[in-house]
Amino acid sequence: MEILRYPDRHEWSRLTARAMASQASQVAATVRSIMDDVASRGDEALREYELRFTGSSLSDFAVSDEEIERASSLLSPALRHAIESAAQNIADFHRAEIPSPVTVETQPGVICMQRPVAIERVGLYIPGGNSPLFSTVLMLAVPAVITGCPYIELCTPAGPDGNIHPAILYAAKVAGVGRIFRTGGAQAIAAMTFGTESIPRVDKIFGPGNRYVMEAKQQATLHGCAIDMPAGPSEVLVIADSNANPTFVASDFLSQAEHGPDSQSILLTTSEKLLDILPGVIDEMLDALPRRDMMLHSLDHSRLILMHDDDEMMEFSNQYAPEHLILNHRDADRLCGNVRNAGSVFIGPWSPESAGDYASGTNHTLPTRATSCRPKPPGSSPSSVRASSSIVSANSPFRGLPGFQRCLSKSTSFLVMIRFFSLYLFPNINQSALWLKSKVLSSSTRSGARGAGSAWLRVRAACWSCRPRSIARVIPSHGWPTPMPAPGALRVR
């Protein structure tokens, strides 16, 4: 990690540069070759690329109904319940975003109307190389289904054995995806752009990916296929002051580093003490994570930066325009009012980045590489599957969605999330609902004997008038409300 103290403003352009940006031309040339090859040779080219990049020898790209049904039996009931609960939250939030028709009489007798229409054929890309991102299935497919897109196909890479992780298949089933294909990377984007013998062409492609996938999506627009946004390698910027708990800050700082070597993490702080302490806390956390080696590559181009004041931190943040912005600050609500460019904003110490990424209801497919600075493009509204930006806030210890904390300990997808939530929730559901503050804050206060599963969340939605963004403020409920709905009781479609 690079540690800087009070950098001059002329250095900001370098400090806000994304990881591996110098390799952009090489990536573009590689992707262009793949796109042209798939366009001319179709399935034959796809098979060759899958064998080269994933080691899987595929005879059939389509996933059968039997495979999808079998996937359900391979997951624990807790994980299935967690996926269903997250799907319900996402559906609830995104239904509220669907725009209503507009009718305006601009002059006597001149009536103008605007009507949202779902895209007819959409393609969803789900990363699956380093980890099975079944949360992304929900983030893309649930809005597409509730919007009424007639045809939805999903592409995701298979493992060397030719199989797709069962959690991805089950999430697709819960969301209501029609067709699933085992292919990934730039070649999958090419297949959805041009169409092959097995994979139909779509009108618009949605979903995040590595720099090759992002470049392929951008090149797809040159061939008449629309895309949601350049959602590329993950990035997070954390703003923290002297009140911030170093363990919380380090957890959010590492929350995106596991995604790949081209991910990037930035910390801005006005506290020299926090700047001095944090590297040791990060190292301690890394030693406990199984993806330490890959995360170290990400941290090679990550930075800890000491700033003069809050205004300077916000100015730097708006110039960087992060995908995820964490405001772990005593005046987080005030700073939130100064946010101009960010994909998703998490307010206060009790708003872990993982909450919005997985289950609060807001979407985690977000603009990267400073593209949140640009106006929201036509076609990225909920009628086209999703909204572009969100804010998640919790104003007391985050106690919701314990099912994710319990079942993800058996998953390889959310390593950092497990680490982070273990600071908030006891792994034993029979222990106290509230996290013992004494674990980090040296307090001996204990809560009542209620189980963590009794906690719940309420979500309120609103809109920013300055730009089409969605705001979700997540607030722990008071008392002990009704329990989570039972598996199978969700109505997502």
**Known active-site residue 323:** yes
Q: How far apart are CA 245 and CA 241, in angstroms?
A: 9
Q: Which amino acid is at 390?
A: S
- Virtual torsion, Cα 348, 349, 353, 359, nearest 10 deg: -90
Q: Which helix (H) or strand (E) holds 239?
A: strand 235-240
Is the Cβ–Cβ distance between 361 and 459 less than 8 Å?
yes
Task: List Cβ<8 Å contacts ≥24 apart for 77-82.
Answer: 77/487, 78/403, 78/406, 78/407, 79/167, 79/407, 79/408, 79/410, 79/411, 80/170, 80/487, 81/403, 81/407, 81/484, 81/487, 82/359, 82/401, 82/403, 82/404, 82/406, 82/407, 82/408
**Known active-site residue 324:** yes
Q: Where are the alpha helices (DSSP H) in 117-165?
A: 134-147
Q: Which of 324, 329, 353, 364 is catalytic?
A: 324
Q: Which two tokens stand for residue 272?
A: 């020299």
Is the Cβ–Cβ distance between 116 and 149 less than 8 Å?
no
The neighbouring-strand residues paired with 391 are 345
Q: How far apart are CA 139 and CA 314, in angstroms?
A: 28
17 Cβ partners below 8 Å, 6+ apart?
none
DSSP code, position 337: T
Q: Which of 50, 258, 323, 353 is catalytic?
A: 323
Q: Where are the alpha helices (DSSP H) in 166-271?
A: 166-175, 185-194, 211-220, 246-253
In 3D, which of 67, 380, 60, 41 has the Cα closest to residue 191? 41
Catalytic residues: 323-324
